[in-house]
């Protein structure tokens, strides 16, 4: 029986997982997405063509790979139907778990209305309805993808749920849809998605039993995990590697190699603590050169220096065997670069990631910068200063870097 390898984001998401999954997917038979929703955004560049993925696994560009959306995902029918228009017919190559929960239009309306009402205290969600969808799942009032196959029953159930939601909906100024409106939408969803709905748990088990090569990808990053992230400024699912097990229906014994994806610097979207954020010229350069704009929201990402404390913490949570270091080329041209090696909190130096990040000050060491790594394909051809930077990251985090990305293009990747 084979093992399933995992790719997991190690920072606050947006690390460049899509490129690595796409690059590695050529070596795998099955690529699976285990959690999150269309709040995720993976951008893949192939031959100068940009593909924006939100729900479809990044292995979709490998014509020989099967792509699976697992039960841990909250699926927006409207979003995935629109996303599928980028590709040809994916029947037989894409499968959606019948146990994945539906993220319906009213979920995003609730999400957006609540954020507006919070004002300055808003978390900074994408407004895509992810939180309300997972809330319905946990409160056992949600609806699964498999229910699309019985449209009238599903429409009746949704309308029945609205009776309980009516006070909330009215308070938020959201109009409650009628049975007829619900049924019309559900029939459209069924027409488009029925060919893809399957018992994906059995599919993954069968693939493992047949020694297929399986790659699992999550959404967002470790520091946005609902349990282990910077709560409450987090997403609504478990983004760590362990979440892949529950999100696909496999056991920890089925897991093989775990590859952590890290940027050569740090970014974050939305509100919440960010110890190494740089609000000066350096942060602006990273944002500009790195094109740090959210794939899903279009929001500008906050940028800062590499945080080895946070990355070491995340690597331990995930059990990382190695790292893929992304966007090294974005740091081209800096005279010096900084790495946070510890924090100062309450007048004391600490080398761990505390639950409470308020009043945390990063402690930096400064290294020499380099001219350019863009497009370099061999490690030994990298400037000495860039190699030293990578080596220091390995020393501070305790994890070996085995993949280095030197541009957004698929082929500009060094594999050690």
Of 22, 38, 42, 225, which is the active-site residue?
Answer: 42
According to DSSP, the residues that pair with 36 across neighbouring strands are: 73
Collapsing DSSP to helix, strand or coil, 298 comes out as coil
Of the chain, the percentage scoring pLDDT greater than 70 comes to 96
Residue 162: alpha-carbon gap to chain centroid: 31
Q: State the residue range of the domain holding 361.
A: 4-75+201-415
Q: 141, exposed or middle or buried, with CB in 10 Å at 0-12, 13-18, 19+?
A: middle
Task: Evaluate whether residue 84 is within a structural domain.
Answer: no
Domain with residue 317: its CATH number is: 3.90.170.10
**Do residues 177 and 228 both lie within one domain?**
no
CA dihedral (234, 238, 244, 247) positive or negative: negative
Distances, alpha carbon 205 to alpha carbons 198, 251, 369, in Å: 13, 10, 48
The single residue listed with the structure tokens 């009213």 is 106
The answer to whether 42 is a known catalytic residue is yes
Q: Which two tokens stand for residue 344?
A: 């100062």
User: 85 lies in a domain?
Assistant: no
Please tell me whether residue 123 adopts helix, strand or coil conformation: coil
Q: Are residue 282 and residue 144 in the same domain, yes or no?
A: no
- 3-state SS assignment for residue 308: helix
Total domains in the fold of the chain: 2
Q: In sequence order, what are the beta bridge partners of 262?
A: 325
> Does residue 405 lie within any of the structural domains?
yes
Task: Find out whether 275 and 362 touch, Cβ atoms under 8 Å.
Answer: yes
User: What are the C-alpha distances in Å from 313 to residues 143, 377, 382?
Assistant: 35, 30, 28
Instruction: Give the pair of three-digit tokens for residue 396.
Output: 């501070």
Q: How far apart are the first and last CA of the chain?
A: 27
Choice among 5, 14, 29, 254 that is catalytic? 14
54-64: pLDDT as tens digits: 899 888 888 88
Per the domain annotation, does 96 fall within a domain? no
The confidence score (pLDDT) of residue 61 equals: 83
Structure tokens at 147: 């229910």
Q: Are residues 250 and 328 located together in one domain of the fold?
A: yes
User: Of 106-110, 277-281, 391-395, which gets the smallest average pLDDT?
Assistant: 106-110
User: What pLDDT score was predicted for residue 25?
Assistant: 83
- Residue 120 annotated among the catalytic residues of the structure: no
Residues 267 and 298 occupy one common structural domain: yes
Q: Tell me which of 163, 195, 227 is where a domain ends.
A: 195
Asked, as a colleague might, if the bond just before 232 is cis with ω within 30 of 0, I would say: yes
CATH code assigned at 127:
1.10.300.10
E strand spans, 165-268:
197-198, 214-217, 255-263, 266-268
Residue reference for tokens 């999100």 = 247
Q: Would you state the pLDDT for residue 163?
A: 79
> Are residues 225 and 297 located together in one domain of the fold?
yes
For residue 82, tell me if it sits in a domain: no
Residue 384 falls within a domain, yes or no? yes
Say whether pLDDT at 295 is over 70: no
Q: Are residues 159 and 263 part of one domain? A: no
């Amino acid at each position: 029986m084979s093992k399933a390898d995992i790719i997991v984001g190690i920072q606050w998401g947006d690390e460049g997982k899509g490129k690595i999954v796409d690059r590695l997917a050529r070596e795998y038979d099955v690529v699976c997405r285990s959690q999150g929703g269309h709040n995720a955004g993976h951008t893949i560049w192939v031959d100068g063509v940009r593909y924006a993925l939100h729900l479809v696994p990044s292995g979709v560009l490998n014509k020989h790979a099967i792509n699976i959306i697992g039960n841990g995902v909250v699926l927006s029918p409207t979003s995935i139907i629109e996303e599928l228009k980028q590709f040809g017919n994916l029947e037989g190559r894409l499968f959606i778990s019948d146990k994945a929960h539906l993220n319906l239009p009213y979920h995003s309306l609730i999400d957006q209305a609540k954020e507006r009402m919070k004002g300055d205290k808003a978390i900074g969600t994408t407004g895509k309805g992810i939180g309300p969808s997972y809330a319905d799942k946990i409160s056992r009032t949600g609806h699964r993808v498999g229910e699309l196959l019985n449209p009238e029953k599903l429409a009746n159930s949704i309308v029945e749920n609205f009776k309980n939601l009516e006070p909330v909906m009215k308070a938020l100024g959201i109009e409650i849809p009628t049975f007829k409106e619900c049924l019309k939408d559900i029939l459209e969803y069924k027409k488009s998605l029925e060919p893809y709905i399957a018992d994906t748990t059995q599919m993954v088990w069968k693939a493992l039993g047949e020694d297929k090569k399986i790659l699992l990808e999550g959404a967002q990053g470790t520091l946005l995990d609902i349990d282990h992230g910077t709560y409450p400024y987090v997403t609504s699912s478990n983004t760590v590697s362990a979440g892949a097990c529950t999100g696909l229906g496999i056991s920890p014994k089925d897991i093989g190699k775990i590859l952590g994806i890290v940027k050569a610097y740090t970014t974050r979207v939305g509100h919440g603590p960010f110890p190494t954020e740089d609000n000066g010229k350096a942060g602006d350069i990273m944002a500009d050169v790195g094109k740090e704009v959210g794939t899903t929201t279009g929001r500008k990402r906050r940028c800062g220096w590499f945080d080895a404390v946070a990355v070491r913490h995340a690597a331990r949570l995930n059990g990382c065997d190695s790292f893929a270091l992304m966007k090294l080329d974005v740091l081209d041209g800096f005279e010096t670069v900084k790495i946070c090696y510890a924090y100062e909190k309450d007048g004391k130096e600490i080398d761990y990631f505390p639950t409470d990040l308020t009043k945390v000050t990063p402690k930096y060491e400064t290294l020499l910068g380099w001219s350019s790594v863009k497009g370099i394909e061999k490690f030994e051809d990298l400037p000495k200063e860039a190699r030293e930077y990578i080596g220091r990251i390995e020393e501070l985090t305790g994890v070996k870097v085995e993949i280095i990305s030197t541009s957004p293009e698929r082929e500009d990747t060094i594999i050690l």
